[in-house]
Amino acid sequence: MRRGPSAFNIASIALGLTFLYAPIVILVAYSFNASRLVTVWGGFSTRWYAALFKDSQMLDAIWVTLRVGVVSATFATVLGTLAAVALARGGFRGRTLFAGGIYATLVMPEVILGLALLLLFVGAGLPRGFWTVTLSHTTLTLAYATVIIQARLGSVDRSLAEAAQDLGCPPWKAFVLVTLPMIAPAVAAAWMLAFTLSLDDLVIASFTSGPGATTLPMRIYSQVRLGVSPEINAVSTLLIGLVATGVIGAYLFLQRRARVADSGAA
């Protein structure tokens, strides 16, 4: 006879969820605080959202962050897909060195990586700005995308792509028409993770950004050093809503694809 969860397990889960999500709930609640003091509740108000949309510097930082996130996540996903195919399907000489070079960013401190990228851009004579931050975030998130896509490629039946090639399909076309649809959920997950990591990064962006390329984490950090403003709570709430909407949308999309695949198989 199967027993239900014990009181200890329920209490542990409740404590863990409270520890994880209570700060987020408090932040969202205080973004609607009418008081200028973030620790004193002064009634419900949306004044800080109105102030946010009048803050040109904060809006510019949001726009830069979104552009950097979209472009760097796209670059990282494309390059990560190619790297994952090479690692999962290729038996070339130097494979171990290639894998180590890609996965190095997973264990390398961001301070070291940011300094190395800064020295690279200075040595190459590249002016720091939007593209240096984008390339840096691509370097940061490439390994994560590769790990996710390579794991999915390991479970894909290679005989399907080989059968397509036996029927006269070029290798690149067999990958696009056969393999890519099967790993599409992993590619979407890799893009979402890369985009989220780009939104969150502060250290590397601080090393590689320049005039006109201030990201939202940099802007928030510079304001928090002078004191927490309810406007920061408002922009953080919007950012949480954006990420949550993307995650829920991706989950529903993958669930729909799974149902369509199951119905087609039946």
Could you report the per-residue pLDDT of 116-162, keeping only the tens digit for each? 999 999 998 888 889 999 999 999 999 999 999 988 888 877 777 77
CA 3 to chain CA mean position, Å: 39
Question: Per residue in 2-35, pLDDT tens?
Answer: 566 778 788 888 898 888 888 888 888 888 888 8
More confident residue, 89 or 218: 218
Whole-number pLDDT of residue 214 = 87
Nearest to 180 by CA among 85, 53, 72, 59: 85
Whose CA is closest to 58, among 230, 258, 198? 230
Q: Long-range contacts: 99-105, Cβ < 8 Å, 24+?
A: 102/142, 102/143, 102/146, 103/143, 103/146, 103/147, 104/143, 105/139, 105/140, 105/142, 105/143
Closest CA to 139 of 102, 187, 85, 95: 102
Distance between CA 94 and CA 102 in Å, rounded?
Answer: 13
Q: What is the pLDDT of residue 172?
A: 77
Residue 8 has what pLDDT? 79
Domains and CATH numbers, the chain: 9-45 (no CATH), 46-265 (1.10.3720.10)
Query: What separation in angstroms does the CA of 42 have from each of 47, 147, 199, 228, 232?
Result: 12, 47, 31, 16, 17
Upper half-sphere CA count for residue 225 (Cβ side, 13 Å): 5
d(CA 193, CA 145): 8
- Report pLDDT for 265: 56
pLDDT value, residue 126? 86
Q: How confident is the model at residue 261 (pLDDT cuts 50, 70, 90)?
A: low
C-alpha to C-alpha distance for 157 and 148, rounded to whole angstroms: 17
Q: Within 10 A of 175 (CB to CB), how many other CB atoms are there? A: 18
Question: What is the C-alpha separation between 11 and 42, in angstroms, rounded?
Answer: 33
Give CA–CA dist 121/127, Å, rounded. Answer: 7
> What is the amino acid identity at position 129?
G
Closest residue by Cα to residue 245 from 192, 201, 187: 192
Nearest to 31 by CA among 20, 21, 42: 42
